[in-house]
Amino acid sequence: MKSFLALAALTVLLAGCGSSSGSGPGEVRLRMVESLTSPERTKLLKSLLADFEKTNPGVKVELISPPLDSADQKITQILQTKKDLDVLEVRDHTAKSFSNNGWLGELPTTEWSGWAGLTDLTQKKAVEVGGKPYLIPYGFYQRTLFYRTDWGLAAPPKTWQELYEAGKKMTGGERFGYSFRGGKGGADYAVMMISAYNGEALNPDKSFYLKDKRTIFATAEAAQALDLFVKIFKEASPPDSVSWAYPEMVQGFTSGVTGMLIQDPEVIKTVEESGVKAWSTAPIPKGPTGYAYQPVGYAGWGVTSFTKHRDQAVKLVQFLSESQQSIRFAKGNSLIPISKQAQSDPQFSQGAWKAYLEAQQDPKQVITIRPVDYPGWSQFLVDSDRDVQALLTGKKSTADVLKAWDAFWTDQAKKVS
């Protein structure tokens, strides 16, 4: 018993010593948190931070890499305490709520020499929330179609109807046409199809609404789109894909289970490293009237409003956003880069990247802005995914789902105005 207590006392003592790692005199310690964590990315980010420390002696950066699943939740929690955080990753999903709560500090724009080197899109997105520069994006995500060229596809499908037909042809035995997403994030794809089917009527600046202020879910076209969505799942996709999210979709494609996949550019790298050799990319499919809509996803670096080392924190964000570092980061993660310099970089215009150029030049491939700044946005993300699963498993009808989404966004519109 005595030794027991002694052991306890000893370990408490040890614990006390071990956990207080003080910083040296005059040294500035920045704490930085990332959100879209992955082992590879974290490694790359750490090497960039090491470069920053080298050029800024006396500054140390501690990187926090919370597990992806709950990262934004975690960042919110840290922000709530209003201490011990200087630099953070802000996503399009979280920017509005972080700024609402007064947690983000404004960044310099034109006063900063690097600002002019950013692409127009980057500058626009940097000030998208509340008109103030709360973050500098580090790259953009946009979806593209990946397809097998050795599974009997002469040309990539141009419309969703064609994708359905091509997928059905590929399906048989152990093979399926399409890497369907029925799990987390699945509703996003339903919305993508519904948007395309609404065609010209859609308002790209508030992409869940039409130009006549109704929601995109209220139309007959929406019902057509969602019916086809279910058909693609039932007739051209693995039954398992009802619960597929990002990893399973990509694995499905790279392991030769599925022949088509719609995903972000970072998959280019994954596919290149996989066993699949005969493949290509194309812009995302369109609706019957020839339109395709998708948002451009982004995330970036920002500083907190309560940082005690504002100068160094801003410096770090600027360092990461300068062309050399930002291109390295975009390449490492295969993202659409933020730097004007990258436009002349061959890597971003060759091979699989060609589809992005093609989409950029097509006026009917429209970039939209989602209502991420509406109060119900995060609730909708959770709810709509479950509605999609209910739809796929026959627990809800197309009409039920559309009715619910229409009601939700009609109500949101009232809350915002």
Partner 1 sequence: MVKRLAKGTVLGIWLLITVFPLYWIVVTSLKPKAEIFSMPLKYWPANVTFEHYAELFEFADFGRYLANSLMVSLVAAAAVTVIGVLGGYTLARFTFPGRGALMLAFLVTQMIPLFIALGPLYLLMSDLDLLNRLAGLMVVYVAMLVPFSTIIMRGFYERVPVALEEAAQVDGASRLSALVRVVIPVMLPGIAATFIFAFVQCWNELFLAITFIDSEDAKTVPVAMNSFITQYDIDWGSMAAATVVSVIPTLILFAAIRRYIVEGLTAGAVKG
Partner 2 sequence: MTKRAFTGRRAAFITLCLLPGIVFVVLFTYWPMVRGSVMAFQRYNLFDLTQTPFVGLENFAAVLAEERFWTSLRNTGTWVVVSLFFQFVLGFGLALLLRRHFRGRGLYQAWVFFPWAMSGFLIGLLWRWMFNGQFGVINDLLLKTGIIDQRIGFLSTPGWAMTSVIVANVWYGTTFFAIMIMAALQSVPKELYEAAGVDGASRLRQFWHVTLPHIRPTLALIVLLRIIWILNFPDLIYSMTGGGPAGSTDIVTTFLIQQVMGGDYGRAGAVGLLVLALLLAFSIFYLNVTRSADGEKAR
Tell me the one-letter amino acid at 133.
P
DSSP state of 172: B
Residue reference for tokens 């994030």: 185
Beta bridge partners, 261, equal 146
With a CB cutoff of 8 Å and minimum separation 6, the contacts of 414 are: none
Give yes or no for residue 80 binding partner 2 (CB under 8 A). Answer: yes
Give yes or no for residue 242 binding partner 2 (CB under 8 A). Answer: yes
- Binding flags for partner 2, 209-238, as an x/- string (CB under 8 A): -----------------------------x
Residue nearer to partner 2 on the CB measure, 241 or 326: 241
- Residue 180 in contact with residue 294, Cβ under 8 Å? no
With a CB cutoff of 8 Å and minimum separation 6, the contacts of 135 are: 90, 95, 104, 107, 126, 299, 300, 301, 302
Residue nearer to partner 1 on the CB measure, 244 or 301: 244
- Residue 55 in contact with residue 273, Cβ under 8 Å? no
- Give the one residue of 255, 324, 347, 349 binding partner 2; rule: CB under 8 A: 255
Give, as ranges, the residues between 255 and 274 that touch partner 1 (CB under 8 A): 255, 270
Tell me the one-letter amino acid at 407.
A
- Binding flags for partner 2, 174-203, as an x/- string (CB under 8 A): --------xxx-------------------
Backbone angles phi, psi at 58, to 5 degrees: 90, -5
Give yes or no for residue 108 binding partner 2 (CB under 8 A). Answer: no
Work out what residue 247 binds among partner 1, partner 2, none; the CB cut-off runs from 5 to 8 Å by kind.
partner 1
DSSP structure string for 290-356: S-EEEEPEEEEEEEETT-S-HHHHHHHHHHHHSHHHHHHHHHHTT-B--BGGGGG-GGGTSGGGHHH
- Binding flags for partner 1, 237-256, as an x/- string (CB under 8 A): ---------xx--xx---x-
- Give the one residue of 47, 80, 360, 379 binding partner 1; rule: CB under 8 A: 80
Residue reference for tokens 């992005």: 356
Calpha distance 81→154 (Å, rounded): 57
Give yes or no for residue 371 binding partner 2 (CB under 8 A). Answer: no
Give yes or no for residue 24 binding partner 1 (CB under 8 A). Answer: no
Calpha distance 265→332 (Å, rounded): 11
- Binding flags for partner 2, 375-394, as an x/- string (CB under 8 A): x--xx-xx---x--xx-xx-
Give yes or no for residue 142 binding partner 2 (CB under 8 A). Answer: no
Give yes or no for residue 11 binding partner 2 (CB under 8 A). Answer: no
Give yes or no for residue 239 binding partner 2 (CB under 8 A). Answer: yes
Residue nearer to partner 2 on the CB measure, 127 or 257: 257
- Which helix H or strand E contains 249, and what residues bound it? helix 246-254
- Which residues of this chain interact with partner 1, rule CB under 8 A? 1, 4-5, 7-8, 11-12, 14-16, 18-21, 33, 36-39, 62, 64-70, 74, 77-78, 80-81, 83-84, 174, 246-247, 250-251, 255, 270, 275
Residue numbers of the site for partner 2 (CB under 8 A)?
70, 73, 76, 80, 96-97, 100-102, 182-184, 238-244, 252, 255, 257, 375, 378-379, 381-382, 386, 389-390, 392-393, 395
